[in-house]
Amino acid sequence: MRVSRKTLLVALATALVALGATAVYAGPWFGGKKAERIKTFAQWKVDDALDALDATDAQRATISPLVGPLVDSALDRFGDREVFREELLALWQAPTADADAARRAVFARIESVRGLAHEAIDAAATVHQTLTPDQRKAVATFADERAKDRQRSLEDRAERAERFAGFVVEEIVDEVDATKAQAAELEALADGLLKSGLAQMGDREAMRADALALWNAETPDVAKAKALVDARIDVWKQLAGEAIDSAAGAHGVLEAGQRDAVADAIRTRARRWR
């Protein structure tokens, strides 16, 4: 019985929703040579941006060294993804769901994201003070235009989320040979989580406007920037808690063999990404 990637998103919501929400599910990049690869790529992107801004040697000397410590911090915080994955899978395969233990593990991860985000804001404040007003304006214009190119309306995002959720539920029902009763319970869990997520989705355009206003200000307001980020992370944390509750519900719906099949499929996929 093969379990697809989309099936895993529902069946192991504790892991994958939390990881996705906190941006720490970094695929193949953490560890060994791949860690060096991402550090090189990050440095190249920053240097390329400085070239586009016609940065002076003095500006480069201030900004370029900010990259390495931030990447190192991310690797230090999230480089143990295999250990984290196994911790969650052990909870998933346990005879009884332990939502409290899942919360401790996932929430600790989210707080690591908060810490890294605060470090990034401190670095951004240094960049803000180093660039000229015209350079900052160029950065803001580029970021705004790129965001608008990718922007979808709230209605479109909701429709896409609903379609995806429906497809995922169908996948898990098929892949684990769920009974009609199991299917109905899984659909109800997914529907409740989807509705809550859509209600807390937020207005991306407004959030982007707040961020741009901070960037365009003459003096960086680090405290306000961190408060904006904290508010968003708190939403992720709330959604992660709800995802854990849904995963605990799915744990009770599926039989041990079905849960084991999901866990085995996750491990198989993870090995392919090493």
Selection from 64, 259, 46, 76 nearest residue 172 by Cα: 259
Q: CB–CB of 148/205 below 8 Å? A: no
pLDDT at 152: 66
Neighbours of 2 (CB within 10 A): 8
pLDDT range class, residue 18, cuts 50, 70, 90 = very low
The pLDDT tens digits of the residues spanning 75-124 come to: 888 878 889 999 999 999 999 999 999 999 999 999 999 999 999 999 99
Answer whether residue 237 shows pLDDT above 90. yes
Cα gap 93→117, rounded to integer Å: 32
pLDDT at 75: 87
Residue 99, judged by CB atoms within 10 A of its CB (0-12, 13-18, 19+), counts as middle
- Mean per-residue pLDDT for 224-234? 94
Q: CB–CB of 30/9 below 8 Å? A: no
Average pLDDT, the chain: 81
Answer whether residue 180 shows pLDDT above 60. yes
Selection from 258, 253, 259 nearest residue 93 by Cα: 259
Supply 221's token pair.
């307001």
